[in-house]
Structure 1
Amino acid sequence: MAKDFSDLKVCIFDVFGTVVDWRGSLIEDLPKLGRKHGLDTDWTSFADDWRGLYQPQMGRVRKGDLPWTRIDDLHKEAFEMLLQKRGLKHPGEEAVWEFTHLWHKLRPWPDSVEGIGLMKKKYVVATLSNGNVALLINMAKNAGIPWDHCFSGETFHHYKPDPEAYLGVVDSMYLKPHQVMLVAAHNGDLAAAQKCGLSTGFVHRPLEHGPGQTRDLKAEGNWDAVGSSIVEVAKKIGC
């Protein structure tokens, strides 16, 4: 039996991996910037290692080892850690920020803009990303993503999967949890949202981590909508 989405009002999206291809974008852009600043390394593994520090860096904030720190600053620190680990010369503060801002220029998956546009005709569409507000707005401008609003971990000073992030959106929109759907390619993110009472939509992104991806290869929970693309999820929720 088809699920009833008549009470759904807002669709919020995980961004890195769900809406944009962070890995493919970085693998394409890092070598160009590396040549500009005289840095040479295996940029494919560098991209994977940089992303690999994402959760540990946020973990330091969650545990209180760091005060509230935006993702741009955590990305910058992680980049400098990798420079040191790989024995690469520090190219200077301005150049490091140029590398860090590559995350503002990530390209969307081919179906993302169309799918979000379809949902926007019926629902409020917004981010709920751990990326900071400036990053999300710049990314949307660069990629043509038609968000109504950008919610961020920065908005609530809590990184997902903290409940405060999901419920912060619910509170901001004066809604009940089930009236907000998280759309994500990550089962853990969806499980945390579902635990807070939100509706859930899974998007299949089997190449987010490259051809050797081993996690999030299928929907692993009882999600409300499942699709191979954002367009397919949009159609399943009545768009």
Structure 2
Amino acid sequence: MTIRALVFDVFGTLVDWRSGVAREAARLVGPLAPNLDAGAFADAWRDRYQPSMERVRSGERPFVDLDTLQAESLPGVLAGLGIEGVAADVRAELVQAWHRLDAWPEVPDALVRLRTRFFLAPVSNGHVRLMVDLARRNGLPFDAILGAGYSRDYKPKPALYRDAAAAFGLAPEEVLMVAAHSNDLAAAARHGLSTAHIARPHEHGPAGGETGPSVLVTHAASDLADLADRLGC
């Protein structure tokens, strides 16, 4: 079937979360912790991302948005790094770091190209306001905001992938899930979506990132511009 919509993972695929969080940590926490390793701070916070969402996915707690989960996990991150005395207003500003991430360099122009032929939307664990802030900051031309805020759950729960197709009135195979994470693409494929892997070898800084998919995908691209080429945009 012809692809008619592209839906995107955002953190790591479209935006560089590690550099952005590290930048804001250096600005906000650095004055209190002169020896701060800002990259390690970003990594430690990200390490709490999946465990915090799992409590929602498992039904242990009702759905709350990602800002709430990030705010709840932040004190443990600070304590684990031995950082004390971070005021409540600074902690709140740190949570907003996730709203001020920068896109990978080729992403805005590639999305403009892709939008000439396809509907575009994020299917992210970020909520609607978070996605809107990232879109406005980076000039990301989405047609809709889907994902956790729309489906009231977190990937890889089935609702997020099924709702993405239903929102556009399309069959699942007419929707291409685009991500830099093979596990996300495997989940999308289980629910009938077509899949495209984007290599992000620098997503985790020194720890690297996926240079290619570890699962069968419809397309494997070196970046989003390469995917636009492959899709004839």
Which residue type is aligned with residue 221 of structure 2? Answer: G
Distance 1:20 1:78 in 2: 21
Aligned match of 2:24 in 1, 25, 29?
Answer: 29
Query: C-alpha separation between the residues in 2 aligned to 1:100 and 1:28?
Result: 13
Offset at residue 192 of structure 1 (A): 0.5
Indicate the SS of the match to 1:182. strand
Structure 2 residue 69 is matched with structure 1 residue 66: no
Q: Deviation at 1:90?
A: 4.3
Q: Does 1:235 align with 2:229?
A: yes
Give 1:78's aligned residue.
Answer: 73
Partner of 1:127: 122
Asked whether 1:15 is paired with 2:10, we answer yes
The partner residue of 2:186 within 174, 186, 191 is: 191
Q: Deviations over 1:112-162 (max 9, x none)?
A: 111111101110111000011111101111111111111121211121111
Which secondary structure state, in structure 2, belongs to the residue aligned with residue 201 of structure 1? strand
- 1:173 corresponds to 2:168: yes
Q: C-alpha distance in 1, partners of 2:171/2:24?
A: 41
Deviation (angstroms), 1:183: 0.5
Which of 63, 76, 83 in structure 2 is aligned with 1:88?
A: 83
Q: Displacement of 1:56 after TM fit?
A: 0.8
| Distance of aligned partners of 1:197 and 1:25 in 2 relative to their CA distance in 1, 3 Å threshold | same
Structure 1 equivalent of residue 94 of structure 2: 99
Distance 2:171 2:228 in 1: 21
Match of 1:157 in 2: 152
| 1:81 to partner: Cα distance | 1.4
Aligned residues: 232
Q: Is the 8 A contact 1:200 1:223 kept in 2?
A: yes
TM-score scaled by length of structure 2: 0.94
Amino acid at match of 1:12: V
Q: Which residue of 2 aligns with 1:220?
A: 214
- Asked if 2 retains the 8 angstrom alpha-carbon contact of 1:225 and 1:237, the reply is no
Work out the CA distance in 2 between the residues paired with 1:52 and 1:91.
Answer: 20
Task: Return the alpha-carbon distance in structure 2 between the equivalents of residues 96 and 216 of structure 1.
Answer: 31
Q: 2:219, 2:150 → 1: CA distance? A: 27
TM-superposed deviation, 1:92: 2.8
CA distance in 2, matches of 1:220, 1:83: 34
Superposition CA RMSD, Å = 1.5
Structure 1, unaligned stretches of length 5 or more? none
TM-score by length of 1: 0.92
Q: How many percent identity over aligned positions?
A: 34
Counterpart CA distance in 2 for 1:225 and 1:86 is 40
Matches of 1:69 and 1:162, distance apart in 2: 15
- 1:54 maps to amino acid: Y
Corresponding residue SS for 1:67: coil
Distance in 1 between the 2:55 and 2:90 partners? 25
The CA distance in 2 between the partners of 1:116 and 1:132, in whole Å, is 20
C-alpha separation in 2, matches of 1:69 and 1:39: 31
What is the rounded CA distance, in whole Å, between the counterparts of 1:126 and 1:64 in structure 2? 26
Question: Residue type matched to 2:220 in 1?
Answer: V
